[in-house]
Chain A
Amino acid sequence: MRAEASPDRTVAVRRGGAALLLLLLLALTTTVVAPAARAAAATCTPDEATACLHVTVTQPGTGPVAGARVTVEGPGGETEATTDASGRASVALDAPGDHTVTVDESTLPAGTVLRDPAANAVTIPVALGRAAGRIFPVVAAGAEGGDSGPAPSPTDGTSPGDDSTGTAPADETGEGTESSAGPGTNRVAQLVLAGLVFGVLLALASLGANLIYGTTGLSNFAHGELVTLGGMTAFMAVQWWDLPLWLGIVVATLVGAAVGWLLNRLVFAPLRRRGVGITQQMIVTIGLALAGLSLFLFFFGAQPAPVVSGISQRIQLGPVQISGQSLLSVAVALVVLGAVALTLSRTRLGRATRAVSDNPALAAATGIKVETIIGGVWVVSAALASLGGVLLALYLNSTRFNFGSTLLLLMFAAITLGGLGSPLGAVVGAVVIGLVVELSTLVLPSDMRYASALVILILVLLIRPQGILGRAERIG
């Protein structure tokens, strides 16, 4: 197995003729993506007229490679840089567009080669105001896939959900456009804003999972994939089919709704009919999540998929800045959240849904068609997840095959915090999570910010197990 696994790691995948090389391995294996990129940001800060390109050369298991020469070629000309002691080279660019990055293999330490020579001379799209990064792993010549080195076992190098990629989007793009404060902003205020924005978007994405939990008691582990589905559909609609963004959002939402309908129709309704237990259904969602994740990786590769290329204008509001793209996302999210809240509280349908949440047997006895309601909840839930996925992708600049699965735990945390099955609670919980994630960067290394949200989750469960807004349950 090990012997045959090594070619996998040395072949890159080209997808759809795009100039983007799938650096699956790089992301999948050992390398530090974000910390490196972020630390390097000290030497180059992206702003409206500058884009940054961070290149890291590192030998997994040994450490960073210093002194490697890196050439960056683009519309603005050719630049050369040499990696420092931390294996990094940062290049400030003033022209957007595709840049070709080449590592001079002759400058690598003796006896080492690029692990993925095919990925050398890689083309990276660069946008002003943003940082892009690439990592070039280096291995001892002839030692690829060897047993003694940190060669990943068959699982880690290849598993689609492998979380080296699992957090990669969080680290690479997870820092929302709002959390990096530009000049003229107050850092705390900026982070609070970022937390609120992220929280509202997270609320929208997680609301569906909460509705499903409320009506059926099911924790849907595939909810993250529905979020990815939204982002990816919008990406295809805007980037591949050249639809306007608003239409992309609509298409993504509709596709989400359709998938929700299918999931219920083909999988969960039959399972419920057969009386399959809730734990078993949960495991089914895990299987679907795994299959979905791998399918996304299969079709889209591991590289980030920006829904909108380029960066939108930042707007100054007192001590804080927000990008137009984020503002649009939040506005849409707030409108939809409000609409869902109104539907749940004011309409017959909403009341019926809440009745099913409270007590399905009683609801059925009063003439409510429980199965129809649950089917509807699946459609709405998946549609909301999809929409949330698009908006989050807009906010975080791009989506990716494991975009949703990275966010899954944060969504669960939001739901649990707010009180399982309580829709308003989920919104409050999500905002709390958003604030914790962003503000924790004030005191913690930023690669631990998602961890801090999960710690909060566990603490709240211990102190107030019914969540912030949930009701205490009567026993017996």
Chain B
Amino acid sequence: MPAEDVVTRARRDLHQVPRTPGAPKPDALLVADGVRRSFGGVNAVDVEHLEVQRHVITALIGPNGAGKTTFFNLMTGFDKPDTGTWVFDGTPLAGVPASRVAKSGMVRTFQLTKALARMTVLENMRLGAREQPGENLFTALVKPLWAPREREVTEKAMALLERFKLDTKKDDFAGSLSGGQRKLLEMARALMSDPALVMLDEPMAGVNPALTQSLLGHITDLRDSGTTVLFVEHDMHMVRHISDWVVVMAQGQVVAEGPPGEVMADQAVIDAYLGAHHDTDLGDDALLTEGGTIDAEAEAEADAEETKA
């Protein structure tokens, strides 16, 4: 079945899902149960039940301090919950270290980008690939054992860099890239391992607003090529346009979920999350519809800005 059909069906299936926190999904890729994490008596995360549908873009939103990033850290093995279990694609992942979580096909990015600054862009990309015999200390000593795989990895890296328009920078140190480029690089690097689920932690944070459109485009591309996306965002504007499903967290708990349009109309969400500011436009389209064509130009400007700063 072509990827688009799978995606279309997965999105359509969501229509039948009840709009209640913890609703079961027809084809859940990630299922979390009773995940709790407290810091000094405060429950940072307290998720009863949550399912993430395969092949769609799910947004995890909530005000600052709602526990979104902590939830990410827990799911990906970067933090340990007090209690709770979760299953990814049929594999229980509770207590599994971060590296094995990533190997099982759930790859994440970070809110503060972790581009490996003193390595070139291409080296960053190569590092993302799986099953490299040359990463074993003893195999590494004999180049013929790993050179063929290295070539494959490099080809794949170049293809991805082209897609993310970073191919001209392949020999630059990642540390010399602009903030937006680093976000792109981190995303591209995550894709080197063909993950089933990409978890993006605030992909738009710290990026020049003019670049967000390009980033959003890459995220929808990801979905359309068959990768499931879960991303954290606290800015509703971004969420509305690209997500198929929205999960709202507040004070560590899932308070609502549903399609973006409905969730934003939900009075409970508005109260819990948007507070007094909801009278402003929840989805300012103007910024985004114009965006498409000004990408390259804006990026150049943003670059100039950053170098100055």
Contact = CB atoms under 8 A, between A and B. Distances in A.
Interface residues of A, number: 3
By secondary structure, the A interface counts as loop
A474 B72 CA distance: 14
A475 B81 CA distance: 12
Q: How large is the interface on B (under 10, 10 to 19, 20 to 34, 35 or more residues)?
A: under 10
B36 to A, nearest CB: 15
Contacts of A475: 73, 78-79
A476 to B, nearest CB: 5
A476 B39 contact: no
B228 interface: no
Interface in B31-61: 39
Contacts of B110: 476
B69 interface: yes
Contacts of B178: none
Interface in B96-115: 110
Nearest to B39: A474
Contacts of B181: none
B266 to A, nearest CB: 29
B193 interface: no
B214 interface: no
A473 to B, nearest CB: 10
Contacts of A476: 69-70, 72-73, 78-79, 110
A466 to B, nearest CB: 13
Interface string A448-475: 0000000000000000000000000011
A476 B39 CA distance: 13
Nearest to A474: B39
Interface in A385-400: none
Interface in A292-349: none
Nearest to B111: A476
Contacts of B70: 476
Nearest to B70: A476
A469 to B, nearest CB: 14
A476 B73 CA distance: 7
Contacts of B79: 475-476
Contacts of B39: 474
Interface in B256-272: none
Contacts of A474: 39
A463 B69 CA distance: 28
A-B pairs, top 6 by smallest CB distance, nearest first, are A476-B73, A475-B79, A476-B78, A474-B39, A476-B69, A475-B78
Interface of A: 474-476
11 contacts: A474-B39, A475-B73, A475-B78, A475-B79, A476-B69, A476-B70, A476-B72, A476-B73, A476-B78, A476-B79, A476-B110
Given A475-B78, A475-B79, A476-B72, 5 more contacts: A474-B39, A476-B73, A476-B78, A476-B79, A476-B110
